[in-house]
Amino acid sequence: MEMKYWKKLSHTEQDERITRALAANVDFTHSVCLGIPASRLDEQVFYSQASFLKDAPLLRTYVANPNHIGCHTFGSSEPFFAGTHELEREVIELLSVDFFKAQPGSCDGYVAAGGTEANIEAAWIYRNYFIQEHNAQHHQVAILCSSDTHYSVAKAGNLLNINVCAVPVNEQDRSISKEAVSATIADAISRDIRFFIVYCNMGTTMFGSIDAPEVYADVLRQHNVHYKMHVDAAFGGFIYPTSAPESVLNFANAEVSSITLDAHKMLQAPYGTGIFLARKGLMEYALTKEASYVHGMDMTISGSRSGANAIAIWMILFSYGPFGWLEKINKLLYRTDWMCAKLDELHVTYYRHPRMNIITIRSGYVPAALAATFGMVPDDHSSEPGWYKIVVMDHVSIDQLHDFAVQLGQSLMLQPELA
Ligand SMILES: Cc1ncc(COP(=O)(O)O)c(C=O)c1O
């Protein structure tokens, strides 16, 4: 586990770093700052001298309320919040290099509202790239993804007025085959689609399945069409690089141009901590030239956004360090293994990627009332579900999994044809 930037820092070390960062931001109390349409949080409501803030650098950041509008890994940024922008830059660089094997200094990125925004940012960049560099017309551009892909990708297609071509997955192992990709691409080409934005999943929402990028790349090359590849690691980005260091869904793979992560999933950060990472030279395609009042211009979807979100990600990463995180991930994988062994004993059919913490069980084995009691999530809320999932997060203990296994066993005894 060679890490360039990622290490564990004590609470005191973190506090010192964040205190310095906040001191390098504009101080609304002591300096003159006439032009910004914002301030620290309302003093009447969020009293900035409250004693508990002394030991809580994240809360102090919320009260200081830095704005991280724009992208801080590229060109210049708003000087008012330069101190905390620096910590966001550290987060982007650390994740690009230590999680996703980029060369130092080779990636841009920003903290987005969530995985949805980061996924839309990717499609926005590549659509504009195909239009500007290859004279593509909207109807000639398509998103290419598996049918297990998160719906935010369909949202991106709709917002950006481009096609979405979904490749059906294998029902059992949730994989995409070359034949299925080839058939989908051939159909798209017959509809004059020439430019593809590929979304590879590092952890699908319902199954935690991992896509093989070479399946897409091989077939796209055979068809001699233009493509760019994005990795949706919104769910898996904070587990799979740790549990599967041999993964090829990263920047060491020349096929991969950008990645979505969500710190508000596996990293347990506050909501508003999606992350978009891209190789340098791409963010520019999302530049809004009209954003002239923003220093350094805006290449993001968000506009104004809280700098406290970047600080929360920074703190979690540096609180654990790579070894603390390895232990945490392995604890979750251990619990997942434990549950899978129980399901095997009960002869229940389920899908689980061996390096992921999602178990997706065929709905026929799980009475709806049992699924509701244990807060399982179905694949379809509107009609009869085909699957129910368990996501083994920090709060999902073996005690709870044991209770579920016992009650599932009891219900199966009443339906012996399933067991
Ligand atoms: C794989 C995947 N991508 C994208 C998203 C969207 O993330 P968010 O809800 O943060 O916008 C999710 C959310 O569940 C997801 O699982």
Residue 37: its pLDDT value, please? 82
Tell whether 340 and 292 lie within a shared domain. Answer: no
What is the 150 CA–ligand 1 centroid distance (Å)? 6
**Using CA positions, which residue lies closest to atom 7 of ligand 1?**
115
Tell whether 231 and 359 lie within a shared domain. Answer: no
| Domain at 169, CATH number | 3.40.640.10
Residue 288 domain flag = yes
Residue 178: its pLDDT value, please? 98
In this prediction the pTM is: 0.96
Residue position matching structure tokens 């950060």: 269
The answer to whether 259 touches 279, Cβ cutoff 8 Å, is no
Shortest-distance atom of ligand 1 to CA 233: 1
> Which tokens go with 229?
């590849």
Cα–Cα nearest to 68, from 117, 110, 122, 105: 110
Residue 28 domain flag = no
Residue 398 domain flag = yes
From 270, 304, 338, give the residue that closes a domain: 304
Tell whether 291 and 344 lie within a shared domain. Answer: no
The answer to whether 240 touches 354, Cβ cutoff 8 Å, is no
Tell whether 144 and 227 lie within a shared domain. Answer: yes
114 close to ligand 1 (CB < 6 Angstrom): yes
Shortest-distance atom of ligand 1 to CA 262: 10
Tell whether 291 and 359 lie within a shared domain. Answer: no
- DSSP string of 191-207? TT--EEEEEEEBS-TTT
234 close to ligand 1 (CB < 6 Angstrom): yes
Q: Who contacts 254 (Cβ-Cβ below 8 Å, separation ≥6)?
A: none
Residue 359 to residue 354: CA distance in whole angstroms: 10
Alpha helices in 71-203 (DSSP H): 82-94, 115-134, 151-160, 178-190
From 255, 270, 304, give the residue that closes a domain: 304
65 close to ligand 1 (CB < 6 Angstrom): no
Cα–Cα nearest to 304, from 315, 316, 291: 291
The answer to whether 51 touches 58, Cβ cutoff 8 Å, is no
Which of 206, 210, 262, 305 has most ligand 1 atoms within 8 Å of CB, for mutation?
262
205 close to ligand 1 (CB < 6 Angstrom): yes
Number of folded domains that form the chain = 2
From 276, 304, 332, give the residue that closes a domain: 304
- DSSP string of 276-339? EEEETTSGGGG-BTT-TTSTT-B-SSS-S-BHHHHHHHHHHHHHHHHHHHHHHHHHHHHHHHHH
Residue 313 domain flag = no
236 close to ligand 1 (CB < 6 Angstrom): no
Tell whether 97 and 206 lie within a shared domain. Answer: yes
The answer to whether 104 touches 97, Cβ cutoff 8 Å, is yes
Tell whether 84 and 169 lie within a shared domain. Answer: yes
Residue 4 domain flag = no
211 close to ligand 1 (CB < 6 Angstrom): no
Residue 18: its pLDDT value, please? 98
Residue 72 domain flag = no
Tell whether 300 and 326 lie within a shared domain. Answer: no
| Domain at 331, CATH number | 3.90.1150.10
> Which tokens go with 405?
């296994």
Tell whether 298 and 326 lie within a shared domain. Answer: no
Q: Which helix (H) or strand (E) is 412 found in, with range?
A: helix 398-413
> Which tokens go with 257?
């141009």
Angstrom CA distances, 1 to 244, 250, 375, stand at: 12, 16, 36
> Which tokens go with 254?
């020349």
What is the 116 CA–ligand 1 centroid distance (Å)? 6
213 close to ligand 1 (CB < 6 Angstrom): no
Residue 58 to residue 354: CA distance in whole angstroms: 35
pLDDT tens for the chain, residues 1 to 419: 789 999 999 999 999 999 999 999 998 888 788 888 888 898 888 888 888 898 999 999 999 999 999 999 988 777 899 999 999 999 999 999 999 999 999 999 999 999 999 999 999 999 999 999 999 999 999 999 999 999 999 999 999 999 999 999 999 999 999 999 999 999 999 999 999 999 999 999 999 999 999 999 999 999 999 999 999 999 999 999 999 999 999 999 999 999 999 999 999 999 999 999 999 999 999 998 777 777 767 899 999 999 999 999 999 999 999 999 999 999 999 999 999 999 999 999 999 999 999 999 999 999 999 999 999 999 988 888 999 999 999 999 999 999 999 999 999 987 766 66
356 close to ligand 1 (CB < 6 Angstrom): no
> Which tokens go with 291?
């954003």
Tell whether 232 and 180 lie within a shared domain. Answer: yes
The answer to whether 200 touches 213, Cβ cutoff 8 Å, is yes
| Structural domain containing residue 336 | 322-413
232 close to ligand 1 (CB < 6 Angstrom): yes
Residue 383 domain flag = yes
Tell whether 290 and 406 lie within a shared domain. Answer: no
Residue 382: its pLDDT value, please? 81
Which of 117, 205, 267 has most ligand 1 atoms within 8 Å of CB, for mutation?
205
Residue 13 domain flag = no
Tell whether 400 and 265 lie within a shared domain. Answer: no
> Which tokens go with 269?
């950060």
150 close to ligand 1 (CB < 6 Angstrom): yes
